[in-house]
Structure 1
Amino acid sequence: MVSANREMVVYCFDTLLAHYNGEEAPPPAFDGGQHPLFVTWKKVVNGGEPRLRGCIGTLEARCLINGFKDYALNSALRDRRFPPIQPKELPYLECTVSILVDYEIATNYLDWEVGKHGIIIEFNDPDYNARRSATYLPEVAAHEGWTKIEAIDSLMRKAGYNGVITESLRKCIRLTRYQSTLFTMHYGEYVSYVKTIRGSTPCVVGAKA
């Protein structure tokens, strides 16, 4: 099984810096298998709790090299919940790559474990006769301190459902659970690693440190 690793995060940072500099990123130092993946950016200010700055990925298998290249930029620059990440924010960023594995159809909406499983829900919106779906990665519910029902209800809202959430509606959910491997690196660690491996310090041309 392919696991998330340091070189994948390095490639995401490389890709973002190359975008700012109008260059091509250095070739990645990992193989290009096919897996579902996510890229998450968070911002750490004054030693506080890292705050989400962007997270986009795919639940379908994609070539890891192309996938991390695309989603490193999409999550940093095109997550509609946030303004695009600016070069001046780089020193405060941390990046997490996730590779999703072990997809399983659950027996019901409670058939999963907080902190272990990511979940995908699918259900019919009775108010609009529309099919809705959404996902949370495995770490989300645990980080928020949610119970299973709180996570499910939040995910239904994320999917765009604005009506009353009832137990009968929850029981109609089709839930798929999955697991993931993660690797997280702060920008400062990335700079030190690249300087050690390549002998040069990565930077954005014209950006203030």
Structure 2
Amino acid sequence: MVSANKEMVVHCFDTLLAHYNSTEAPPPAFDQAQHPLFVTWKKVVNGGDPRLRGCIGTLEARSLINGLKDYALTSALRDRRFPPIQVNELPLLECTVSLLTDYETANHYLDWEIEKHGIIIEFSDPVYNTRCSATYLPEVAANEGWTKTEAVDSLIRKAGYNGPITDELRMQIQLTRYQSTLFTMHYSEYVSYVKERRGEAPILAAKSPNY
């Protein structure tokens, strides 16, 4: 099984830096494979807790090299919940690559473990009869301090449902659980790693676009 590693996160930083510099990113230093994946960007200010700046990925298997390149940019620049990450935010960023594994159909909406499992929920909106779905990665519920029911209720809202959340609605949820491997790196660690491996620190062009 392929696990998330440092070189994958370096590739994400390389990709974002190359976007701002209007250049090509260096070739990645990891082997090609197929995996569902997510790229998460967070911003650390004044030593506080990291704050989410973008998180987008795919639940279907993708080529790791192209998939990480695509989602590094999509999550940084086109997550509709946030404005695009600006050049001057780079030194404050940390990046996490998550590779998803071990998909299992749960018996009911509470049939999963906090921290161990990510969850995908699917259900029908009882008013509009439309199909709704959403996912949280394994670390989300623990980071937010949620119970399993609170995590599922939050995910129902994330899926776009604004009506009353009842036990009847929860019981009709089809829940898929999964696990993941992940690797996180701060921009300062990325700079040190690149300097050690390539002989010089990454360069950000003086005049770069803001998005």
TM-score by length of 2: 0.97
For 1:84-95, list aligned pairs within 5 A: 84-95=84-95
Amino acid at match of 1:179: Q
- CA distance in 1 between counterparts of 2:79 and 2:123 reads 24
Q: State the AA in 2 paired with 1:162.
A: N
Distance in 1 between residues matched to 2:166 and 2:28, nearest whole Å: 47
Residue matched to 1:189: 189
Give the Cα separation in 1 of the matches to 2:68 and 2:57: 9
- After TM superposition, the structure 1 = structure 2 runs for residues 120-199 of structure 1, keeping only pairs within 5 Å, are 120-199=120-199
Q: Distance in 2 between matches of 1:177 and 1:99?
A: 14
Across the aligned residues of Structure 1 and Structure 2, the Cα RMSD in angstroms comes to 0.9
How many residues are paired up?
208
Q: What displacement does 1:183 show? A: 0.2
Q: Is the 8 A contact 1:94 1:185 kept in 2?
A: yes
Residue 96 (structure 2) aligns with:
96
Letter in 1 for 2:142: A
Which residue of structure 2 aligns with residue 25 of structure 1? 25
Aligned residue for 1:15?
A: 15
Moved over 2 A (4+): none
Deviation readout 1:43-64 (Å, 9 max, x if unpaired): 0000000000000000000000
Structure-2 separation of matches of 1:102 and 1:115: 14
* TM score, norm. by length of structure 1: 0.98
What's 2:118 paired with? Answer: 118
Structure 2 CA distance for aligned equivalents of residues 207 and 146 of structure 1: 43
In the alignment, residue 167 of structure 2 is paired with which amino acid?
E
Contact 1:87–1:207 (Cα < 8 Å) also in 2 = no
**Residues of 2 paired with 1:121 and 1:166: CA distance?**
15
Aligned residue type for 1:76? A
Unmatched runs of 5 consecutive residues or more in structure 2: none
